[in-house]
Amino acid sequence: MISDLEQIFSTNIKGMKKSAIRELLKLTQRPEIISFAGGLPAPESFPIDQLKDITNEVLDQDGIAALQYGATEGVTELRQILVDRYNKEGLNIELKNLVITTSSQQGLDLVAKIFVNPGDKVICGLPSYLGGLGAFNSYGAELVGIKFDDKGMRADLLDEKLAELKTQGIKPKFIYIIPDFQNPAGITMPESRRLEIIEVAKKYDILIVEDSPYREVRFEGKPQKTIFELDNSGQVILLGTFSKIFVPGFRIGWVVANEKIVDKFVVAKQSTDLCTPTMNQKIAYKYIEKGYFDANLKTIIEQYHEKRDNMLSAFREFMPEGVTWTEPEGGLFLFLTLPQGMDAEDLFKKAIENDVAFVLGSVFHCDGSGKNTMRINFSYMSKERTTEGVKRLAKAIKEML
């Protein structure tokens, strides 16, 4: 080992931190631990038998191309079927507006790689997805948090903050938003609030990055139009992924944006991984083409709906007074708030002693707030294990109180 290793590490890597969620997951590997910490899809939702057949079909019919390098933009057939699906929803995009990425996490990384210089301001929610915060932070972004209400990021506070920054000669690079079943809060932003955010963004001429990993997993309520569709001017970058609605192991995501922006994503991706695995893309395309995707998605929605309802029922039965939580219309997460003065980090230690785990809410707050909050996943555990886990968590909270 060389003597000055610490001195030669880049500024970027010195500023990066290990994922708090990934580190917590290491503590929850014991079989007796009931973990609400990960963002894992239910294993029973994976269409293993169908994928076996499709994999053989792809290898038999198109094996050479599937096993070869592919275009950086992605497999054309997959891109086109995604474009067609979006246009049926109301978007107006073409093939040139969509590029495949290696998961939406790569999309977040490329957003930062393309737009962020060290010291640039990026607007995000309080709270906001840890993977996004980590990606932006790794390129030297200075994160500016905007508080939520029950409709998501407050447009009035966003306007105030951007006006304040403007007087200082500062223009943030973009506003990062997860409008549907927000991770971690579980809140869905109504169309009226989306339009307010768009209006503020236009007022200050700032891009919006719309992260939309599982908007299809809706249990109830009215589906909301994407911010991308409502804007319809090229001021929004939309990120999507198959990780939560198909299989995470394929690591397939995508970016929808103005053609000039997509071109920059292609250039940035070429120096990152050249292309997303061709085999995975061709299997995914076949899976959608055969109608399996929509059928399985319906099953996933039914499963997660039952699991959410089961968790909410357990909360109502076992949680002590003073503990509150969000009730998401879809997705995989809800946010739990402890009474003021309680620290979720202290509770985590007590919870582990009771063989149950969660993710600290503070890691989703770029300003270090949210000490009395936690993110809870309801998609992974069985209903029986979930009920038992809620009992254990409620017991730990009561002991802390």
Question: What would the pLDDT profile of 315-351 be if each residue is shown by its tens digit?
Answer: 999 999 999 999 999 999 999 999 999 999 999 999 9
Q: What is the pLDDT of residue 10?
A: 75
- Portion of the chain with pLDDT greater than 90, in percent: 91
pLDDT of 27 higher than 80: no
The answer on 159 and 193 residing in a single domain is yes
The answer on 23 and 99 residing in a single domain is no
Domain annotation covers residue 54: no
Domain annotation covers residue 215: yes
The answer on 22 and 131 residing in a single domain is no
Cα-based distances in Å from 175 to 33, 127, 160, 294: 37, 13, 14, 31
pLDDT of 186 higher than 60: yes
Gap between the Cα atoms of 39 and 131, Å rounded = 11
Question: What would the pLDDT profile of 275-320 be if each residue is shown by its tens digit?
Answer: 999 999 999 999 999 999 999 999 999 999 999 999 999 999 999 9
Gap between the Cα atoms of 396 and 8, Å rounded = 45
Say which CATH number the domain at 174 has: 3.40.640.10
The answer on 334 and 254 residing in a single domain is no
The answer on 35 and 136 residing in a single domain is no
Q: What is the pLDDT of residue 7?
A: 81
Q: What is the pLDDT of residue 100?
A: 98
Say which CATH number the domain at 357 has: 3.90.1150.10
pLDDT of 359 higher than 60: yes
Domain annotation covers residue 388: yes
The answer on 89 and 39 residing in a single domain is no
The answer on 280 and 319 residing in a single domain is no
Residues with Cβ < 8 Å from 1, sequence gap 6 or more? Answer: none
pLDDT of 29 higher than 80: no
In the block, tokens 């038992």 appear at 388
Task: Name the residue range of residue 191's domain.
Answer: 66-290
The answer on 322 and 245 residing in a single domain is no
Question: What would the pLDDT profile of 78-105 be if each residue is shown by its tens digit?
Answer: 999 999 999 999 999 999 999 999 999 9
Query: Mean per-residue pLDDT for 351-379?
Result: 95
Question: What would the pLDDT profile of 223-253 be if each residue is shown by its tens digit?
Answer: 999 999 999 999 999 999 999 999 999 999 9
Show which of 268, 290, 312 is a domain's final residue.
Answer: 290
Q: What is the pLDDT of residue 2?
A: 74
pLDDT of 155 higher than 70: yes
Gap between the Cα atoms of 27 and 233, Å rounded = 46
The answer on 255 and 241 residing in a single domain is yes
As a whole number, the mean pLDDT across the chain is 95
Rg (CA), the chain: 21
Q: How many domains does the chain divide into?
A: 2
Q: What is the pLDDT of residue 401?
A: 86
The answer on 160 and 223 residing in a single domain is yes
Helix (H) or strand (E) holding 255: strand 253-256
The answer on 243 and 376 residing in a single domain is no
Domain annotation covers residue 391: yes
Q: What is the pLDDT of residue 4?
A: 78
Gap between the Cα atoms of 243 and 255, Å rounded = 14
Q: What is the pLDDT of residue 8?
A: 80
Q: What is the pLDDT of residue 99?
A: 98
pLDDT of 30 higher than 80: no
Residues with Cβ < 8 Å from 147, sequence gap 6 or more? Answer: 126, 153, 154, 157
Q: What share of the chain is helix, strand, coil (3-state, %, to 5)?
A: 50, 15, 35
Show which of 271, 290, 309 is a domain's final residue.
Answer: 290
